[in-house]
Amino acid sequence: MKSWIKSSNMKTTIIIPTYNEKANLAKLVKAIFSLEIKNLNIIIVDDNSPDGTGKLADQLTFNYPLAVIHRPAKLGLGTAYVVGFKQAINQGAAIVIEMDADFSHNPKDLPLLILEINNGYDVAIGSRRIKGGSVKGWNWWRNLESKWAMNFARFILNLRTQDITAGFRAYNTKVFDKINLDKITSNGYAWQEEMIYLCEKYNFKIKEIPIEFIDRQFGQSKLGLREIIEFFITIFRLKFKH
């Protein structure tokens, strides 16, 4: 696997939105680049983190192929990905990857996502909800809530993908020839379900890869009531709009 990754010629950009991730960011960036993936760079999209995450990200640019987009306030996960994806595409990325900054997604799984895009899939998802996938650190109630909400959305929207809220994904950038990023209206965690809905609508080839999702060890979760409400509103907006 490692020798293949070193020989890959597809330019890959990882988009990492941040808000108060100073405790995690430097370690994560180091772990990613230690994989020695060829033609890899990172774009950090920081929402004016009061803990100094943005300043730390700027310092990391001196040692790694990394760019930082500074935004004036906490503007939401979805818009962070839109800004990051656009910059990556403009810079010639063939693959764009989204991942969290808090080590919920193991950097060692990145080559698996890239491999599936190279194998011809349009979207590769690090999935918690297929055989071999798992969640570590959630209590039974949170796990049950997540499964119920996801299955409800899958039923209403007739989705084949199992883990529709997964935030660890790789896209072949040709996907965005059909999916107009400017027309995606979801901003919080509902961004994930809207993207999967559109990918299935356009019949893109999607591959789910089992991963172990590990709940964050440092910092605070960004999932709040507003994001939960938007998730359910998005289900019905997509159902009756398209």
Region label for 132, one of left (φ > 0), alpha (ψ between -120 and 50) or beta (otherwise): left
Mean pLDDT for 26-50 is 97
pLDDT confidence tier of residue 7, bands split at 50, 70 and 90: very low
Strands 134-136 and 212-214: parallel
Closest of 57, 42, 41, 47 to residue 18, by C-alpha: 47
The C-alpha atoms of residue 194 and residue 188 are separated, in whole angstroms, by 11
Average pLDDT, whole number, for the chain? 90
Mean pLDDT for 146-174 is 93
* Backbone phi, psi, residue 110, to 5°: -55, -45
Which CATH superfamily includes the segment(s) 2-241? Spore Coat Polysaccharide Biosynthesis Protein SpsA; Chain A (3.90.550.10)
**pLDDT for position 8:** 60
**pLDDT for position 189:** 78
Mean pLDDT for 16-26 is 96
The C-alpha atoms of residue 15 and residue 97 are separated, in whole angstroms, by 6
Does 242 have pLDDT greater than 60? no
Mean pLDDT for 135-159 is 85
Does 217 have pLDDT greater than 70? no
Closest of 209, 119, 118, 223 to residue 162, by C-alpha: 209
Closest of 206, 172, 176, 179 to residue 10, by C-alpha: 172
Cβ neighbours of residue 50 under 8 Å, at least 6 residues apart? 20
Mean pLDDT for 160-166 is 95
Mean pLDDT for 219-238 is 72
The C-alpha atoms of residue 180 and residue 198 are separated, in whole angstroms, by 10
- Between 234 and 111, whose confidence is greater? 111
- What is the DSSP secondary structure assignment for residue 91, as one 8-state letter? T
The C-alpha atoms of residue 168 and residue 32 are separated, in whole angstroms, by 14
**Angle subtended at Cα 203 by Cα 199 and Cα 207, rounded to the nearest 5 degrees:** 70
Residue ranges of domains in the chain: 2-241
Does 67 have pLDDT greater than 60? yes
Beta-bridge mates of residue 44: 16, 68
Strand residues in the chain grouped as ranges (E): 12-18, 40-46, 66-70, 95-98, 123-127, 134-136, 169-172, 206-210, 212-214
Mean pLDDT for 188-217 is 91
Q: What is the pTM of this model?
A: 0.90
**pLDDT for position 221:** 53
